[in-house]
Amino acid sequence: MNEGNKSDKIDAPQNSPICCAAGICARSTMARNGLRTMKELARSYLTISKDLTRVMNRVKALYRSWGILLCGAASLRTAASLGVAEQNRRKRACAGGPSSSTSSSMPCDCCTKPCGEICWRRVEKHGATKLLREIPSIGAIRAALLLALIQTPHRFRTKRQLWTYSGLAIDTSDSAQHRFVDGQLQRCKKPQQLRGLNQNHNHDMKAVFKSAATMASGGEGPFHDFYQGLLTKGMEPAMARLTLARKIAAITLTVWKKGAHFDAKQLKPQAA
């Protein structure tokens, strides 16, 4: 095996003969523990959720053009019972699909329950499910999505790799780290500037941890106390929720990889 930098483009041609010689195939690896089926179910759940959100936003925009402000699926169904009077606007509502034009089948979160229940029945047999659900704000759906999207925690050596994969890593890239001084190239002494969060990430994973942090910051429990402690130190609410999301991701990786139970007493007060 050659030494030096490693990447998928370099390792794939080198490792494929070894895998074939050992009798390892991609189909048997992906089908291990039913993770392949669970991954497809999770993708279906996320796709249906995004489609329903898009249709509901389209219908809300239609009523907003009439001066009717809607908030939530309940008010959406109430407004839909009024009907669409004008023929042209009825056609516009029907363009969103059959579910957006009739009050009896308005899009709502209950449409995703069958897919979510099937996904949960598959994931509850996994050994890490109970450990992940012990973490506050990680419920059945989020645990199923974590298992489907990550599959194995050993693909991340430390929490920083998981932060990068989830879009929670701090980007400090700089194109002016060196400059010429008296004809010689010297490294600039100016510290690197923060460029925000990394852009190359898994958006579904970021949504899972961000929603978990938002839920934990508004509820009760150890994560809420952690969030309030950050606010007390003078941190902005947005940065405090980001720090809480990073903390939840780090705890998730530790609990899953080591097979340990969540202990609120070990939750350190400092930032993640």
pLDDT single digits (tens) 41-77: 888 888 888 888 888 888 888 888 878 777 766 566 6
Strands, E assignment, the chain: 178-181, 184-187
C-alpha 240/C-alpha 228 separation (Å) is: 9
For the chain, the distance separating the N- and C-terminal CA atoms, rounded to the nearest angstrom, is 37
> Averaged over 111-133, what is the pLDDT?
67
Per DSSP, what are the bridge partners of residue 180?
185
Q: Residue 262: helix, strand or coil by DSSP?
A: coil
> Averaged over 131-135, what is the pLDDT?
89
> Which pLDDT value is given to residue 267?
74
Which amino acid appears at position 93 of this protein? A
For the chain, the domains span 34-114, 126-172+199-266
- Give 93 or 226, the one with higher predicted confidence: 226
Mean pLDDT of the chain, nearest integer: 76
Cα within 13 Å of Cα(160), Cβ side: 2
- Give 240 or 13, the one with higher predicted confidence: 240
pLDDT single digits (tens) 161-214: 999 999 998 887 777 777 788 888 888 777 767 778 888 889 999 999 999 999
> What is the pTM (predicted TM-score) of this model?
0.69
Please determine, for residue 260, whether its predicted confidence score (pLDDT) is greater than 90. Answer: no
Q: Which of 88-97, 129-138, 183-192 has the highest mean pLDDT?
A: 129-138
Strand-pair category, 184-187 with 178-181: antiparallel
- Joined together, the tokens standing for residue 154 give 């050993």
C-alpha 214/C-alpha 144 separation (Å) is: 19
> Which pLDDT value is given to residue 204?
92
> Which pLDDT value is given to residue 9?
63
> Which pLDDT value is given to residue 107?
45
Please determine, for residue 259, whether its predicted confidence score (pLDDT) is greater than 70. Answer: yes
Our CA angle for 196, 229, 166, nearest 5°, is 35
C-alpha 168/C-alpha 206 separation (Å) is: 7
